[in-house]
């Protein structure tokens, strides 16, 4: 999270206007609700964030019943097993998916036949009125055409192709997609693979950009079916293009949450429950849902006595007992550090630059070595928090990269010495800012700053559309050969306040188009962020960490460590509702 003061402007997503597609800012009126190709015409607006009130915070695969990010089942029946009608003009084998014996999908870009309701290599089947539900048309992702699902009536359709001659093992299907949003379901899937199936929901794409998503499944018996499905209302549409199938599975190895305020929340009376109402320790609720990493920030000498080394050590033992690994977030400050402020700790004030380098080394080594000594070593550590503008200002500002690099090296060297197996991350805000990320990390590399992971914050209501996040993650992973991590993300489950302080996201015009402020909208937003990270090529999408899932509204546990009367401005983005129960988005952390 970070303060709006001094931040670099960047794009935001269009505000929500409802469940049905409208012309989005930056997109011409042609081809939005009718599913034809939107064209970008404008630039994205600048945005800022604060963690609460005067500190503006920086800034999914919907489960079926419980489910997961991608929806798994022992078998995914074609369109729910309902009566299907073969679409007009299909070839004789249309009652079953055509087969490709090459191990790769035939006509993967839908370019072979011009505009048709029967693209070569694929079969479409639909329930009830099949007219106009699946067809190819101009406006592809990388070529001239795409597959479109759309109709003026409610429809349910599947376009599929069966691949044979596959070696047994895990496979991943990838597709570039766009969607109006609002469908009951729109997915890509691998099914009938002999060892389970998996499907991934399409995200809404109000900006008109293509998004790449993936689904993975285990093949047993040499064959598997790729299925592209829609269960939609009149006028809703989905686009599919450039389908690939590759050996190997795509999965998130980090599925985490930042629980830095949990200890304070508990002291002031916060209680937590599973979805069924059973009261439990918050870490137990999070861990049993599938979270495998817990992030803790470290402040040097905070006025309220929380987030200190001693507090981190105590929480680390609870985290390990809950079956999770620890992710340590060094702020190198007595309070919030972010792109808007990087204030030195009071104890380091007046120190020379060389003294500051030693301070960073000593503080980092002290915390990490103590964690290792008690048997709770950090699995990952970040040297600084959202350090777009540098750290320990003014000495460590980006205006003096030689000095900033020296401070970062001191932190990294201490981490290596104290905890050799701990991965080192460098963390920026502005997850949708591809140019800013490249500018910063090019300089880090040029100055030989060591790091293992690129960590980015991404809040869709501040940082722009998912397409921007995907472009940045893909380019960053490729350019530096490092795994990429969304180290912070969150979304609202309601616009109602849980305390007297206005929330950071509290009005409908702040929402991302296609994601209402409901428990289901929160889950869908997280699902789609996870899907984008999982789809980073080469398996370099490391994971996603949800920011403050347990920061519910309790008096005394506010955002300002110096003011016990402050509220938190974040409770409507927690993963626990105002009734203390876990929300559906928690199901997405299941492996």
DSSP strand pairing (211-219 vs 194-195): antiparallel
Burial of 154 (0-12, 13-18, 19+ CB in 10 A): middle
In a domain, 578, yes or no: yes
Measured in whole angstroms, the distance separating CA 378 from the mean position of its chain's CA atoms is 22
Average pLDDT over residues 562-578: 94
Of residues 18 and 321, more confidently modeled = 321
Same domain, 232 and 297: no
Same domain, 225 and 289: no
Report pLDDT for 18: 28
CB 536 within 8 A of CB 477: yes
Same domain, 215 and 292: no
The total domain count for the chain is 2
Dist CA 375 CA 343 (whole Å): 32
Report pLDDT for 101: 59
Of the pLDDT bands very low, low, confident and very high (cuts 50, 70, 90), residue 67 is very low
Same domain, 220 and 355: no
The enclosing domain of 293 has a CATH number of 3.20.20.80
Mean pLDDT of the chain: 86
Dist CA 204 CA 211 (whole Å): 9
Q: Which of 247, 272, 287 is the last residue of a domain?
A: 247
Report pLDDT for 412: 99
In a domain, 22, yes or no: no
Same domain, 304 and 226: no
Dist CA 70 CA 60 (whole Å): 8
Report pLDDT for 225: 98
Q: Which of 101-110, 426-435, 466-475 has the least mean pLDDT?
A: 101-110
Same domain, 323 and 269: yes
Dist CA 132 CA 151 (whole Å): 6
The top-scoring range by mean pLDDT among 23-27, 60-64, 389-393 is 389-393
Dist CA 424 CA 301 (whole Å): 23
Burial of 119 (0-12, 13-18, 19+ CB in 10 A): buried
Give whole-number Cα distances, 121 to 53, 61, 80, 163, 526, in Å. Answer: 56, 28, 23, 10, 34
pLDDT digits (tens, 9 = 90+) for 354-387: 999 999 999 999 999 999 999 999 999 999 999 9
In a domain, 566, yes or no: no
Half-sphere exposure of 217 (CA within 13 A, CB side): 34
Dist CA 430 CA 2 (whole Å): 10
- In the chain, the percentage of residues whose pLDDT exceeds 70 is 83
Closest by CA to 126, choosing from 87, 91, 153, is 87
Q: Which of 187, 214, 247 is the last residue of a domain?
A: 247
Report pLDDT for 128: 76
In a domain, 41, yes or no: no
The enclosing domain of 154 has a CATH number of 2.60.120.260
Closest by CA to 253, choosing from 584, 56, 534, 573, is 534
Report pLDDT for 70: 52
pTM of the full structure: 0.86
Give whole-number Cα distances, 105 to 164, 428, 572, in Å. Answer: 10, 38, 44
Give whole-number Cα distances, 448 to 155, 192, 353, 444, in Å. Answer: 56, 49, 19, 6
In a domain, 358, yes or no: yes
Q: Which of 114-118, 383-387, 408-412 has the least mean pLDDT?
A: 114-118
Same domain, 260 and 221: no
Of the pLDDT bands very low, low, confident and very high (cuts 50, 70, 90), residue 102 is low
pLDDT surpassing 50 at residue 4 = no
In a domain, 541, yes or no: yes
pLDDT digits (tens, 9 = 90+) for 305-353: 999 999 999 999 999 999 999 999 999 999 999 999 999 999 999 999 9
Which of helix, strand or coil describes residue 589?
helix
Report pLDDT for 57: 37
404: alpha, beta or left, given left = phi > 0 and alpha = psi -120 to 50?
A: alpha
570: alpha, beta or left, given left = phi > 0 and alpha = psi -120 to 50?
A: alpha
Of the pLDDT bands very low, low, confident and very high (cuts 50, 70, 90), residue 541 is very high
In a domain, 355, yes or no: yes
DSSP strand pairing (484-489 vs 453-457): parallel
Of the pLDDT bands very low, low, confident and very high (cuts 50, 70, 90), residue 193 is very high
- How many other C-beta atoms are found inside a 10 Å radius of the C-beta of residue 140? 21
Report pLDDT for 177: 99
Average pLDDT over residues 97-106: 75
Of the pLDDT bands very low, low, confident and very high (cuts 50, 70, 90), residue 130 is confident
Report pLDDT for 96: 57
248: alpha, beta or left, given left = phi > 0 and alpha = psi -120 to 50?
A: left
Same domain, 414 and 374: yes
Report pLDDT for 169: 96
In a domain, 472, yes or no: yes
- In the chain, the percentage of residues whose pLDDT exceeds 90 is 80
Of the pLDDT bands very low, low, confident and very high (cuts 50, 70, 90), residue 207 is confident
Average pLDDT over residues 40-60: 34
Of the pLDDT bands very low, low, confident and very high (cuts 50, 70, 90), residue 516 is very high
Dist CA 97 CA 88 (whole Å): 15
Give whole-number Cα distances, 300 to 400, 403, 490, 565, in Å. Answer: 24, 21, 26, 22
pLDDT surpassing 90 at residue 40 = no
Average pLDDT over residues 474-486: 99
Dist CA 24 CA 486 (whole Å): 26
Dist CA 272 CA 277 (whole Å): 9
What residues form DSSP beta bridges with 455?
Answer: 427, 485
Dist CA 359 CA 431 (whole Å): 29
Of residues 591 and 175, more confidently modeled = 175
Burial 233-266 (b: 16+ CB within 10 A, else e): eebbbbbbbbbbbbeebbbbebbbbbbbbbbbbb
DSSP strand pairing (197-201 vs 145-150): unpaired
Residues acting as catalytic residues: 386, 488
Same domain, 170 and 197: yes
Dist CA 375 CA 407 (whole Å): 28
Same domain, 328 and 447: yes
Q: What is the extent of the structural domain holding 368?
A: 254-545+574-589
Edge-to-edge strand list for the sheet holding 169-179: 134-138, 145-150, 237-247, 169-179, 211-219, 194-195
Average pLDDT over residues 269-292: 98
Same domain, 132 and 228: yes
Of the pLDDT bands very low, low, confident and very high (cuts 50, 70, 90), residue 511 is very high
Same domain, 284 and 320: yes
Q: Which of 247, 275, 292 is the last residue of a domain?
A: 247
């Amino acid at each position: 999270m970070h303060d709006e003061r001094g931040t670099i402007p960047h794009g935001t997503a269009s505000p929500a206007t409802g469940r049905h597609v409208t012309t989005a800012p930056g997109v011409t009126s042609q081809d939005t609700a009718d599913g034809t190709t939107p064209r970008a015409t404008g630039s994205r607006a600048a945005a800022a964030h604060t963690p609460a009130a005067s500190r503006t915070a920086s800034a999914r695969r919907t489960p079926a019943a419980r489910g997961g990010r991608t929806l798994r089942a022992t078998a995914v029946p074609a369109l729910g097993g309902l009566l299907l009608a073969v679409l007009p003009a299909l070839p004789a084998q249309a009652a079953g998916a055509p087969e490709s014996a090459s191990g790769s999908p035939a006509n993967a870009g839908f370019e072979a036949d011009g505009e048709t309701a029967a693209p070569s290599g694929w079969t479409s089947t639909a329930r009830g009125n099949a007219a106009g539900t699946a067809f190819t048309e101009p406006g592809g992702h990388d070529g001239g055409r795409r597959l479109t699902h759309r109709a003026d009536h409610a429809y349910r359709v599947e376009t599929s192709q069966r691949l044979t001659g596959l070696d047994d093992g895990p496979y991943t299907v990838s597709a570039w997609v766009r969607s109006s949003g609002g469908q009951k379901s729109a997915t890509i899937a691998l099914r009938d693979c002999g060892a389970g199936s998996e499907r991934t929901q399409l995200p809404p794409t109000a900006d008109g950009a293509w998004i790449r998503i993936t689904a993975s499944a285990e093949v047993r018996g040499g064959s598997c079916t790729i299925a592209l499905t829609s269960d939609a209302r009149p006028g809703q549409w989905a686009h599919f293009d450039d389908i690939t199938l590759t050996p190997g599975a795509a999965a998130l190895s980090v599925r985490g949450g930042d629980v830095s305020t949990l200890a304070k929340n508990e002291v002031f009376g916060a209680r937590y429950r599973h979805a069924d109402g059973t009261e439990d320790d918050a870490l137990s609720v999070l861990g049993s849902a599938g979270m495998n990493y817990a992030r803790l920030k470290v402040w040097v000498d905070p006025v309220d006595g929380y987030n200190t080394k001693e507090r981190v050590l105590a929480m680390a033992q609870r985290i390990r007992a809950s079956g999770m690994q620890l992710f340590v977030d060094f702020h190198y400050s007595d309070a919030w550090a972010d792109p808007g402020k990087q204030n030195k700790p009071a104890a380091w004030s007046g120190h020379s630059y060389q003294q500051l380098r030693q301070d960073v080394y000593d503080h980092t080594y002290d915390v990490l070595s103590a964690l290792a000594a008690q048997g709770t070593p950090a699995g990952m550590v970040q040297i600084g928090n959202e350090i777009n503008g540098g750290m320990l200002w003014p000495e460590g500002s980006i205006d003096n990269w030689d000095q900033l690099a020296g401070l970062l090296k001191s932190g990294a060297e201490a981490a290596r010495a104290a905890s050799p197996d701990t991965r080192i991350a460098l963390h920026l805000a502005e997850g949708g800012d591809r140019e800013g990320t490249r500018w910063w990390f090019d300089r880090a590399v040029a100055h030989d700053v060591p790091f293992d992971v690129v960590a980015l914050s991404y809040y869709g209501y501040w940082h722009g559309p998912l397409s921007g996040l995907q472009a940045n993650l893909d380019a960053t992973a490729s350019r530096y050969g490092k795994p990429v991590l969304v180290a912070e993300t969150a979304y609202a489950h309601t616009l109602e306040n849980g305390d007297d302080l206005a929330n950071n996201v509290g009005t409908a015009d702040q929402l991302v188009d296609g994601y209402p402020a409901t428990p289901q909208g929160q889950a869908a937003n997280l699902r789609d962020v996870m899907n984008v990270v999982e789809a980073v090529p080469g398996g370099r999408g490391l994971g996603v960490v949800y920011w403050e899932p347990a920061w519910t509204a309790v008096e005394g546990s506010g955002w300002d460590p110096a003011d016990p009367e402050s509220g938190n401005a974040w409770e409507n983005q927690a993963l626990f509702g105002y009734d203390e129960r876990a929300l559906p988005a928690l199901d997405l952390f299941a492996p």
